[in-house]
Structure formats: structure tokens, C-alpha cells
Structure 1
Amino acid sequence: MVSPSEVLELTLSRPPTLGSGRLICVDGLAGSGKTTLARGLAALAPEAVVIGTDEMLAGWRGLPGLAGSVEALLRPLAAGQPGTWRRWDWYADGWAETRTVLPGPLLVLEGVGSAAAAYRELVTTLVWVEADLDVRLARWLERDGEGMRPHWDDWLADEAALHARQDTRSWADLVVRT
């Protein structure tokens, strides 16, 4: 398995792609371990801003619109300006506050669909994380509870369609299987 230190070392060995900073996208399949890897990166790089793209989705069926939200955050950062994004409140089932990200040395985006072809040139390192479906489902139910199971089939369909359209795995710098 690829360690967070290997991801960080690879990223820092590359020139900046996000203005004067670098961007790591930890993309892949739901329940595969993306958040765990991102937490490891955050522990190694306290200057990093880490954003879970789950908070940038417009609810359970919001995956198709995620790339637009991420790109709206990244383009100003690439120009050396603050970027903004709006947080989805999963409990209220609606948009909440707008958050600002200042240009910095390292931004880590983690989540299904965090990397997209529309801003590929801004990604310094793309890590694709995957696991078997039964492992992913067990992790997902442990994290979100049995009450969320009805959303699983729709999410899997949206996830599969997104990754087929974007072909994200094929341009990953690193592939991690958990």
C-alpha cells in the first residue's frame, strides 16, 4: 500500500500546479479509504488545507455537479487569489455557509469525484483509492449507519457513471488498493 509519506514526497518533488501551491486529489470509490489517506497527509503536512468533497455535493444526487463546484474553488487559487466553496449541510439537506480558502502551499481534496478532467492541469498528484465492493459497503455502513443503505444503490450508479465519463483511474499517478 502507498503511504501518506510517499504521496507527499511525490507531490513535493513536482513543480507547483495550483498557483504557487500544489494540489493532491484523493479520488476513488466510496468506502475505499480516501479519508484515511487524507488524514495521514494532514498529519504529515500541518500547513495543508484538507477538504472532503462530500461537503461540496448538493445532497445524495449531487455528484454530477461536483466538478463545477471544485473548479470554482480552484481557478482563483491558481491565479493566486482566495477561492470559495459552499458547504452542504447533510442534516438540514441544504446549502449552508460559504467558506474561503487562501492560497497556500498544499491543498488536499478527498472524495469521490475530487479530480476532474476540467481542471486536470491544476492537479499535482492524483491518488486513486479502491477496494472490493463488500469491504466498501461494510465501511460505509459502519461510518454512516444502516439508515443510509437506501442511498447506496443510487450512489454507486452515480459514482460509476462519473468515473466512466471522467476515466479518472487511468490518469492517476498512484493507485492504492485497500
Structure 2
Amino acid sequence: MDQFASRLLRLSPSCGPVRLVGVDGHAGSGKSTFAARLARAMGGAPVLRLDDIASHDELFEWTDRLLTQVITPFSRGESARYAPYDWHARAFGPPVPLPPSPVVLVEGVGAGRRALRPFLALLLWMDLPREQSWARGRARDGEEQREFWDTWVRAERKHFADDPSEPFADWLVRQCGEGYEVRSGPAGTGETDHFLTLSDGPSPMW
């Protein structure tokens, strides 16, 4: 994991001084876990969770909010300030700061959407089929969230039909046991025969 983190730090800044790295994929595909492990490998890089930007009323219609609260300040080299959404209270909380760190991970469904791609240094896609991802998510959240998941699945289908991310991914990430396998994505370098296994143990091998 450390080697992959070092690779990200060598990328050119993409949004002011920040290297924004998108971690996209279907709900339940493991984005949050992977982003957290990658952030730790970079010494605690900030992770912007799109669950904090979206809301019940705007599952995917949050682009303007993200651009205004995060992207525009970063592009000026300033700290962002965004108001995280509380999914239990159904309300946005007080603004919190997000400094323009060398790498900021943007994690969530839609992180690779059309409006954000010009600001990304790299786009990662969690390579797990949608039905399998949704099944994992439903199992994780339990029966009490069944109605929400029914609504979410319809919204996610529509979002990716209108604005797909996977075709623009630089790397595809697949969980393999305790680690991850990464291979070049549709928008990557074409090195489709090279694999990187990421783990928290010894340095990975190309």
C-alpha cells in the first residue's frame, strides 16, 4: 500500500495545489474501506466522503454544492469548508474545514462524474459488479434500511446511465482477501497485463 501511496504523491496537482483522487464504484463495493486504508498509507490524507455532501433530497444532485464548498476554494489554494449532512437528523450540520493537503481522497458514488473529472488527478473504480455490491450494502445496513436501498438503487441506476464513471477510470481496484489487486482501467496507461497487490504488510510488487 505504501508504494501505491507514493505513486499518488508523485502525480501533478489537479485542483490548485491539491491532487484530488476519486474513489468511485457502486454502493457497497468497498470504497470507504479502501479509501481509509489508502489514506492511512499516506500518513492520514484527508478523505472527503460524498455521503457528507449528498442528502435524502439530493442523492446525486449535489454537484453545485461540492464545486462551491470544496473545488473552488481548493483551486485558489484555500481551505474548503463544507457542511456535512446528518442522515439521521436529515439536516446539514455546521461547516467544517478541509485544508488543501497534497492529496485529498474523494470517496463515494459519483466521485468520477463528468463535472468533477477535470479536477481529478486520478480516478479509481472499485471493480465489483453492481448487483453484488448492492447485496453487500443491503446486508450491511439491515432490514431497517430496505426502503432507502430500494430508492437508492433506482437513483444509482439512473445516475450511472446518464453519467457513467467506470469508462473514465484510470485504475480498477478489486479486493483480494486481505489486500487489493489494481489494474489499468479504461482511461489508464494500457498496462493491462500489470497487477499490483495492495496490503498493509510488506511492500507490494509490480
Q: What is the TM-score with the length of structure 2 in the denominator? A: 0.76
Check if 1:66 corresponds to 2:62: yes
> For 2:155 and 2:2, how far apart are their aligned partners in 1?
31
User: Residue 14 of structure 1 aligns to a residue in which SS?
Assistant: coil
1:110 is displaced (CA, Å) by 0.5
Question: Paired residue for 1:155?
Answer: 152
* CA root-mean-square deviation: 1.9
Question: Paired residue for 1:17?
Answer: 14
Question: Paired residue for 2:127?
Answer: 130
Give yes or no for contact 1:67–1:113 (8 Å, CA) kept in 2.
no
Check if 1:55 corresponds to 2:77: no
Question: Paired residue for 1:170?
Answer: 167
Check if 1:42 corresponds to 2:39: yes
> For 1:57 and 1:133, how far apart are their aligned partners in 2?
20
Which AA in structure 2 matches 1:45?
M
* Equivalences, count: 174
Identity %, equivalent residues = 30
Name stretches of at least 5 consecutive residues in structure 2 with no aligned partner.
Answer: 176-206
Runs of 4+ in 1 over 4 A off after TM superposition: 4-7
Give yes or no for contact 1:66–1:113 (8 Å, CA) kept in 2.
no
Structure 1 pair 77/90, CA: closer, same or farther in 2 (3 Å)?
same
Check if 1:112 corresponds to 2:109: yes
Structure 1 pair 7/152, CA: closer, same or farther in 2 (3 Å)?
farther
Question: Paired residue for 2:24?
Answer: 27
Q: What is the TM-score with the length of structure 1 in the denominator? A: 0.87
> For 1:87 and 1:24, how far apart are their aligned partners in 2?
20
> For 2:155 and 2:139, how far apart are their aligned partners in 1?
21
Question: Paired residue for 1:81?
Answer: 78
